[in-house]
Structure 1
C-alpha cells in the first residue's frame, strides 16, 4: 500500500522524549513518534495508513465533500441525512472528525506507546512499538464513537437555551469495526499494580491553546475498571489501518463512553494509584448549570440515547404518495428495544420497523411508511426506548456546555 502524501503546512510536533527503559516485550525501545513536515516518510513494511485523497480544510487530512460534511472550525460534522445510503458501519471517508488542534501525520515505524506512573510495579516507563502491539493477540469490536456535544445546537434551536461549544447537529457520531489489542493485556504486560485506580491516556496532537492558556496535549482520566472492561488500543478501522484523522497509528476506543475518552494518536498512558485530573475532566466534559451540583457534576462518562431521520431539516415531501421514512436509533446505556415515530408533532405515535438486530454499543436502522394528505409544514419525531427502559424525553436537561442532548428531535418538513 503506498504511503499517503503529507499535507502542506504541517506543524512539526515536539513529542515525548525517550526515557531509559526496557521494552515491555524485551525488545529495543522505539523512537518517539513524529509528525511529518513537508516530506514523505518511508514506513516500515505493513505500517502504512491509507492513501489520503487530499486536503480541503487546513488541519484535516481527508477530503470533506459538501454532500457528506459540514465543516465546523477544526472539526467536520457528517451529514446525518446522507447516512441513508450507508450500511451499519460508517465508511472511513464519511466518519466525522473531532480535532482540538490539527491532525498530526505520524509514522508508525517511529511511533511508540509509553506507560508510566506509580501504578506500575517497576515505577519506570515501559514502551511498546507499533510492531510489538500488532504481535499481541488482537480483538475486533464494533462500536459507536459519539462526541459528548452531539446535538448541542438543539438545546438552542429546539429548547431556546444558550450553550457554548461547537454547534453540532446530529452528525458527530459514527459506527466502525475496530481491530486492536485489549488495553487490559497491555496493562498486564506493563506490570500494573493492584492498587492502581486511574489511567490518563494522552494524544500526540499539538497542545491545545484557548484564551491564551496552553492546556497541553489532549488527555483525560479513565478508571482502571473501565479499562479492564472493553477498551482497546485500535490500529484498524473497518478493515484498514486507521486514517490519519481518526488516530493513526493507534488510538483508544472506549465503547459507550463520550468520544473524548477515545483518545486519538495515542502517545502515553499514566498509570496512577490516585485519582487523576486534566482540563478535559475539570473545565470541560462535566455538567454545569442550575440543574446540576454547584461546581459541576462528576466528569461525564457514558453517552446517552438518540434517534434521528435520514432527512434534511426542512425537506420537501410530496402529498398523496407513500414515503418510506428511515433513520437510526442508538443508546449507550443498553441495546435499543423499540423506535416510535410521530408524523403529527407528537399527538400520536406508532412503532417503526427495526431493520437490524439491536446490539450493545451499536445502532439500528429503522423505517416507517407515511402517506401525507394535507400540504403545509409538519413536524416529524422519532423516539428510542432501550432494553433498560430508558426513553428519550421531550426535553433534555440543560447544561451550559451543551453535552448529552437526548431529547426527541423535532424534525420540520414541508408537504407540498
Structure 2
C-alpha cells in the first residue's frame, strides 16, 4: 500500500499545482482571502498558500458533551487534550473517559434512528448525485459483516507546542503537547464493503467522507462541513465505518453514531459523525487537504508538500511535567511509543537529559497503527532538576531525531521530547 500512497501523493500534488483538482464549493476569491489572512505570498497563481491557523475564534465553551475533569484533560479551545499522567496503568486501550477530543466546532447530538449515510458521485455506477444518493441507515450497517481493529487516532498537530518550546520555531495552531492521541478497539463495517454495495466504479479515484457537525469558519470564510478525500486504494484497503469503540456504541464526542477510521493516517482523515461520502472519478479538493494538513515553510515547495497521510513517530512518558522523584529509591518509568509507518521495535530512555541511554522493556508486540507500552527502572542518586527523554525506533528502522524540520502550521512533530522532572532528597515522590 505504501507505494500506492506515494504514487497518489505525487499525482495529486501535480494536479493541485496545475489547478486541475475540482473545488468543492469554495471560490477562488475565498481561497485567496484565506491565504491573505495567513500573511502568505505564493508565486503559484493556481494554488493558494497556507490558510490561517485552523483554530476557531474564542467560544463560550468547548462544545464537548462528556465531563472534562482537570486531572484528566487540558481544554484547548474547542478541544480537550489528554493528560498523560492520567493514562498510567489504564491498559492498552485508552478509556473513553480519557480519550482526547478534537472538534472543529462542537459535538452534535445525533439520533441513530434518523441517521442515514449517503453515497453519491461520478465514481459510482450510474453516477447518482447528491439529490438522489445511495442510502444506508444505521440498522443496514449493523446487519453487514463487521470487523474489529486496534488503531490509534492522532491529531496531525500533536506535539505542536514543542516546535516553539524546544526548537524556537514560530508555528500556528492549537498548542498541543503530546496528548492529542488515543488508541481504541474499533468495530465497524469495512468501507470497501459499503462502496461496493453502492456500486463502486472502476473509474473511481477519490472517496470523500463529510461530517455532520456545523460548518467551519476560518478567516471569515465559511468552509462548510469538515471533509477530506482519500485515494480509493486506501479507502478499499483497511478503512472502516466504525459504530463501536472499546466494545460500546460510539460516544457523542467520538463520532456517534458512525465515524470513519483510517488506520495510521493523520486524525483529520478519521471523519466523525459521517453523513455522506462522495465517490469521484477525478481528484477532489477540500480545504483540509490543501490549505490545512500540508507542510508549508522554507524547507518545502512554494505550494506546500503533498497532503499529509501517514502519522509520524513519537514517544511519551506517563508522568506529569515537573513531577518529583525521591533520590535513593527505585522508580518505574512508563510510557508509550507509536508510528504511522509500522510497529515499535525499540525504545530507549534517558534520565539525565540525553547524556546516557538505556533500553526500555516493551510490553506489546510491534503492530501497525497502534502504540506499544514500555517501562524502564530508574534509581536517581543526586537531587536536582533533570529531564527524561524517550526515543523510539519503528520496524522500518526510523528513529526519532533530536530536532525535526519546522513547518508553519506545526504538523508532525517527531523529535525527542524533553520531559522536565526533579529529584528530591526526601522520601516522597509524585510521578
Q: TM-score, normalised by structure 1?
A: 0.86
Listed one character per residue, the Cα deviations across residues 149-185 of structure 1 (whole Å, up to 9, x for unaligned) are: 0000010011111110001000000000000000000
**Kept after mapping to 2: 8 A contact 1:325/1:367:** yes
Query: Could you tell me which residue of structure 1 aligns to residue 251 of structure 2?
Result: 243
CA contact (8 A) 2:210 2:276 kept: yes
In the alignment, does 2:285 pair up with 1:282? Answer: no
1:98 is aligned to 2:98: no
Residue deviations 1:86-116 (CA, integer Å, cap 9, x gap):
1100011111000000000000000000001
Structure 1 spans left out of the alignment, 5+ residues: 1-55
String of CA shifts for 1:277-307, please: whole Å, max 9, x gaps.
Answer: 1110111000000111111001100000111
1:85 Cα offset (Å)? 2.2
Distance 2:396 2:120 in 1: 38
- 1:295 corresponds in structure 2 to 303
Give 1:212 deviation, angstroms: 1.4
1:134-153, aligned counterparts within 5 Å? Answer: 134-153=142-161
Mapped pair 1:405 → 2:406: no
CA-CA distance at 1:202 after TM superposition = 0.3
2: CA distance between counterparts of 1:81 and 1:307?
A: 14
CA contact (8 A) 2:62 2:75 kept: no
> Is residue 2:307 matched to residue 1:322?
no
| DSSP 3-state at the match of 1:235 | strand
C-alpha displacement at 1:72, in angstroms? 0.4
- Of 353, 357, 361, which residue of structure 1 is paired with 2:361? 353
Q: Is the 8 A contact 1:57 1:64 kept in 2?
A: no
Instruction: Report the alpha carbon displacement of residue 270 of structure 1 after superposing the two structures with TM.
Output: 0.5
Residue 172 of structure 1 pairs with residue 170 of structure 2: no
Q: Which runs of 5+ in 2 are unaligned?
A: 1-59, 425-431
Q: Which residue of 1 aligns with 2:275?
A: 267
Aligned to 1:24: none
**CA distance in 2: counterparts of 1:85 and 1:67, whole angstroms:** 15
Alignment pair present for 1:381 and 2:389: yes
Partner residue, 2:241: 233
CA contact (8 A) 2:62 2:77 kept: no
Distance 1:262 1:58 in 2: 20
- Aligned counterparts of 1:175 and 1:387: Cα–Cα separation in 2: 19
Give, in angstroms, the shift of residue 57 of structure 1. Answer: 4.7
Q: List structure 1 runs of 4+ shifted beyond 3 angstroms.
A: none
Q: RMSD in angstroms over aligned alpha carbons?
A: 1.0
Residue 72 of structure 2 is matched in structure 1 by 68
Aligned counterparts of 1:199 and 1:144: Cα–Cα separation in 2? 21
Mapped to 2, the partners of 1:346 and 1:304 lie a distance apart of 21
Matched residues in 1 for 2:74 and 2:153: separation? 18
